[in-house]
Amino acid sequence: MPWFPDFVNAAELARRQTRAAVQADPVGQYIAALDRGETGPLETGWPDHVTVYDPRAGEVRGHRDLRHFVRESQKLLAARHVRTETVACTVAGDRAVVELMAHITVDGREQPWPAAIVADSADDRSITFRTYLSLWVLDGQHHPRPPILRPGPAPARPGGIVGRYQAALAAGDTEAIVATFAPDGYLQEPLGPPHSHRGQAELRDFFARCFRDGGIGLEPCRVTDDGVRCALEYNLVSWGRGEMPPQAGLAVFERSPDGRLAAARVYDDVAAP
């Protein structure tokens, strides 16, 4: 059967092409899986391991647990009539951070629900998804989240304007942190646009309240920076005078043309002490 090797080669080529198409947009494939309740493309794209760190379900590891997680998540999202749109995407190396604005129906009203999803792939057969968001919109409660990542080495920590922001945040220095923003810059809290603070006056009032008892200490864990946006995955370890149980979060800093911050968007579920 002289055609048999050609058939095998064609089938292998088709598999590779399918995997390449899936791997080109990992977060898009992940969101589509949650929307459909079906994991086939994820398993095809990353046949060895798919790991998920989800604020509600915790750690999901392996294809079998992934199928259960995706089915249950699809039921929750469908019941809440959730629809999503992409806000921004930050890509550096083998890591992508996609910011989303979900719209969720709670008690008959549609509410914004910001989320950030990190797709981290060390090779072409395995991938890890880390989702950061607040569960407050679901039940009106904060849900402390243990660390996902370990603190990164000092050279990997953000520098420049993002480093200045982090230093002012830790010191609890209102004027210094406000100075890192462009005149029309804004900070968005984890609950979304209704909880945004734009311009020097609003930012000064917001940070003065945050720093009433001292600064906020973060352990930088992973930085994804494309030159325009810098996404920082962190563990929050202190707020004010006392320590807090370390809690995982992510913030995206968008630079303005003048080198200051046009925006800082925060994704965590931390309750102020």
- The 10 Å Cβ neighbour count of residue 159 is 12
What pLDDT, on a 0 to 100 scale, did the predictor assign at position 15? Answer: 60
With cut-offs at 50, 70 and 90, classify the pLDDT of residue 156.
confident
**Residues contacting residue 69 through CB under 8 Å, at least 6 positions apart:** 52, 54, 57, 60
pLDDT digits (tens, 9 = 90+) for 216-235: 999 999 999 999 999 999 99
Q: What is the mean pLDDT of the chain?
A: 92
Q: Tell me which of 19 and 74 has the higher pLDDT.
A: 74
pLDDT digits (tens, 9 = 90+) for 37-51: 999 999 999 999 999
Task: Examine the pLDDT at 7 and tell me if it is beyond 50.
Answer: no
Looking at residues 125-131, what average pLDDT do you find? 96
Tokens found for residue 58:
């915790």
Q: Please list the alpha-helical segments (H only) found in 123-254.
A: 136-139, 160-171, 174-178, 199-210
Has domain 154-267 been given CATH number 3.40.30.10?
no
With cut-offs at 50, 70 and 90, classify the pLDDT of residue 8.
very low
Task: Give CA torsion, residues 41, 46, 48, 51, to 10 deg.
Answer: -90
Fold of 4-133: Nuclear Transport Factor 2; Chain: A, (3.10.450)
Looking at residues 210-214, what average pLDDT do you find? 95
Q: Tell me which of 163 and 152 has the higher pLDDT.
A: 163
What angle (nearest 5°) sits at the alpha carbon of residue 147, between those of residues 143 and 153? Answer: 150
- Domain parsing of the chain, residue ranges: 4-133, 154-267
What angle (nearest 5°) sits at the alpha carbon of residue 102, between those of residues 273 and 263? Answer: 60
Q: How far is CA 170 from CA 158, 207, 213, 214, in A?
A: 14, 12, 12, 8
- The 10 Å Cβ neighbour count of residue 181 is 25
What pLDDT, on a 0 to 100 scale, did the predictor assign at position 25? Answer: 93
Same fold, 4-133 and 154-267: yes
Task: Examine the pLDDT at 21 and tell me if it is beyond 90.
Answer: no
**Residues contacting residue 48 through CB under 8 Å, at least 6 positions apart:** 125, 126
pLDDT digits (tens, 9 = 90+) for 72-94: 999 999 999 999 999 999 999 99
